[in-house]
Amino acid sequence: MSSKPVIIAQITDLHIKAPGELAYGKVDTAQALARCIAELNAFEPRPDLVVISGDLVDTPTSEEYEHLWRLLSPLTIPFVAVPGNHDSREMMRAAFADRAYAHSSGALDQARPLGPLDIVALDSHVTGKPHGLLEPATLAWLDATLTSSSTRPALVFLHHPPFRTGIEHMDVQDLFNADELADIIRRHPRVRLVAAGHVHRATLTTFAGTAATICPAPNHAVDLDLGALRVPSFRVEPPAFHLHVWFPGDDGGRLVTHHVPIGDFDGPHPFFGSDGKLL
Amino acid sequence: MTTAHGASVHIQNCGKTFADGTQALAPASLDIVSGETLVLLGPSGCGKTTMLRIIAGLETPDAGGRVLFDSTDMTAVPIEQRHVGMVFQSYALFPNMTVADNIGYGLKIRGVPKAERAARIAEMVALTNIGGLENRRIDQLSGGQRQRVALARAVAVRPRVLLLDEPLTALDASLRDRLRCELNRLLRELGITAIYVTHDQAEAMELGDRIVVMRKGAIAQIGTPREVYFAPQNRFVAEFVGAANIVEGPVASGRLTLSGGWLALDGAGDQPKAVAMIRPETIGIVTEGDAFWRGTVDSVSFIGDRQRIVVSGAADKPLTVDASNRINVRAGERVGLSVEPDAVRVLPGEA
């Protein structure tokens, strides 16, 4: 087995509107995504896969999905996408018809082998509701999919976090059947990460005995209000995405997640001069 | 119109074993000619959908299996790069977009210029018989119309292979018959490589250049509709494809002896206990005195275009005979039966 790292970029909560429209009247989500994609395309070494963990569009409408398609078309890296609460399964199936969906109707669950890894993307969308739920068919499929190997490390992606963040107005709309997900994850120690979106902030915790993260968004962030002090709000914080890097190894391998801010930052500047001494 | 013949498809040693050890598909090989319509036919759980999913890239075959389009190995190529068109029972259309925009969607996102797009949409509309509906929204269409649009959308981008998974199953019977007939014409006109999954043998007969009959994760027979119908290689195929009388008796000197008499066979070797298939429409009702094979009419059902007559005492079990709607027989009547030697198919290895 090759010892080359496997790089998965996770982007999330794109909230693409019809061309010219701003999210919440303020945020140009299309421009934010375009910048994010330019950064992904320029990143070296090239990521092996992009996972988009939900809320691809905002309302949702077919016009938004068409706009999304145009914005994604410059992306030179293959991608896997699952819906969030702002999406429509039906429209996503129409927009991305040629995808490896596990079921021919209903939830848009997908699994994809990626070198030594298995990438499993779950659909937690509930029609017309902001919270998330994994349907019985999804849970059964997840269990069966994870059973297909006991050794290959697996990364599980979904939109709704299966844990609280302390931001109350988001926590009331997280994954409602996190316990059922936890039962399955616990049975399959090969799951090395449960990665979500939805909250537009980077967080890190553990869940069912494995690492769990929320990926930040390329646009706006949910206000970090841990005391329900303010009305639900957002801030335009530095946009970012996650790079999950798998380092294969005889010790069973290791996953490292990097938080990558999006923007034109000064650098890179060398630490050392031509004489080899620290500058 | 332009025809895109599509790729030839080669399935080499593709099996699928699930984690719990169940084998959904035993390693199978299959070659599909460019432009051919191949039907995967069988009951649920026979492996036909697994085979289709492997071809599409929705499922990875077990180690050692390979899928080739023409001479390119596609086994590790993800579905979105295989350039396959897919039509399922569910439609995958934008509900609030017009028919024309749905058909043109795949072209638009691939950057096909507007004029060329309009021409292709018009061509697809004509081909799928949905003229006049171009500006309707999908949620204003019937199920049959939606399935036509789904088909038009799938072929508009000229896929290398068109994959259809029970596309007519959700429709009511009369609509299904009509669409089947249209689909047949459309597949011939397009000349596209198509792989069609169904559990409906009439659909398979009408649409397939060849039929792959599957059972319990394995291929039971591959052949043209005529071969599969007239020369089934085993009892399962005989009974699954069309109606069949399966009779048992000894074969000696070119004759099959049954309880009601004997039948001449076309070149069958002697065996003490042969199993043979006789299609109901190949059995004739004749006067008793003229026949070497006889029985008693159990029941007569007048169906319109024919009569279904059940005859007992002729073989080890009651025989079904599809007779002309003109002959006049009654339950309880003794009748003679006739069948041409080449209509009696001794099934190999079934005894």
Residue of B nearest to A69 (CA): B109
Residues of B within 8 A of A73 (CB-CB) are 109, 111
pLDDT value at A195 more than 80: yes
B81·A78 Cβ contact <8 A: yes
pLDDT value at B2 more than 70: no
For residues A246 and B109, what is the distance between their CA atoms, to the nearest angstrom? 33
pLDDT value at B91 more than 80: no
Residues of A within 8 A of B21 (CB-CB) are none
Q: Predicted confidence band at B350 (pLDDT cuts at 50, 70, 90)?
A: low
For residues B78 and B92, what is the distance between their CA atoms, to the nearest angstrom? 19
Reading across the β-sheet that carries A203-207, which strands appear in turn? A110-114, A117-121, A154-157, A191-196, A210-214, A203-207
B19·A73 Cβ contact <8 A: no
A105 close to B (CB below 8 A): yes
pLDDT value at B100 more than 60: yes
pLDDT value at B17 more than 80: yes
B126 close to A (CB below 8 A): no
Residue A149, class by beta-carbon neighbours within 10 Å (0-12 exposed, 13-18 middle, 19+ buried)? middle
Q: Of the candidates A73, A144, A148, which has its C-beta nearest B109's C-beta? A: A73
Handedness of CA B99, B103, B104, B109 (dihedral sign): positive
Residues 68-107 of B with CB under 8 A from A: 78-82, 84, 86, 88-90, 92-97, 101-102, 105-106
Residue-averaged pLDDT of chain B: 91
CA distance, residue B144 to nearest chain A CA (Å): 18
Q: Of the candidates A93, A97, A100, which has its C-beta nearest B58's C-beta? A: A100
Q: What mean pLDDT comes out for the span B98-116?
A: 92
A97·B86 Cβ contact <8 A: yes
Give the per-residue pLDDT at B3: 47
Give the per-residue pLDDT at A100: 86
Give residue-wise pLDDT tens across range A38-59. Answer: 999 999 999 999 999 999 999 9
pLDDT value at A1 more than 80: no
Q: Of the candidates A62, A99, A100, which has its C-beta nearest B96's C-beta? A: A62
Buried b (16+ CB within 10 A) or exposed e, B296-318: bbeebeeeeebbebbbebbbeeb
Q: Of the candidates A66, A100, A113, which has its C-beta nearest B79's C-beta? A: A100
| ipTM value | 0.73
Residues of A within 8 A of B57 (CB-CB) are 100
B60·A113 Cβ contact <8 A: yes
Give residue-wise pLDDT tens across range A12-29. Answer: 999 999 999 999 999 999
Q: Which helix (H) or strand (E) is A195 found in, with range?
A: strand A191-196
Please state, in angstroms and as integers, the Cα–Cα distance from residue B303 to each residue in B22, B122, B295, following that order. Answer: 43, 43, 22
Residue-averaged pLDDT of chain A: 95
Residues 34-63 of A with CB under 8 A from B: 61-62
User: Which regions of B33-183 does DSSP assign to beta strands (E)?
Assistant: 37-41, 66-69, 72-73, 84-87, 161-165
B165·A95 Cβ contact <8 A: no
For residues B177 and B203, what is the distance between their CA atoms, to the nearest angstrom? 8
CA distance, residue B169 to nearest chain A CA (Å): 13
Q: How many CA atoms lie within 13 A of B33 on its CB side?
A: 8
Q: Of the candidates B79, B90, B97, which has its C-beta nearest A98's C-beta? A: B79
pLDDT value at A148 more than 90: no
A98·B86 Cβ contact <8 A: yes
Q: Predicted confidence band at B318 (pLDDT cuts at 50, 70, 90)?
A: very high
Tokens 């999804």 -> residue: A138
Give the per-residue pLDDT at B1: 41
Please state, as a whole number, how many other Cβ atoms lie within 10 Å of the Cβ of residue B184: 15
Count of pairs with CB atoms under 8 A, one residue in A, one in B: 66
Please state, in angstroms and as integers, the Cα–Cα distance from residue A238 to each residue in A52, A215, A262, following that order. Answer: 19, 13, 7
Residues of B within 8 A of A96 (CB-CB) are 80
Note if the pTM is more than 0.90: no
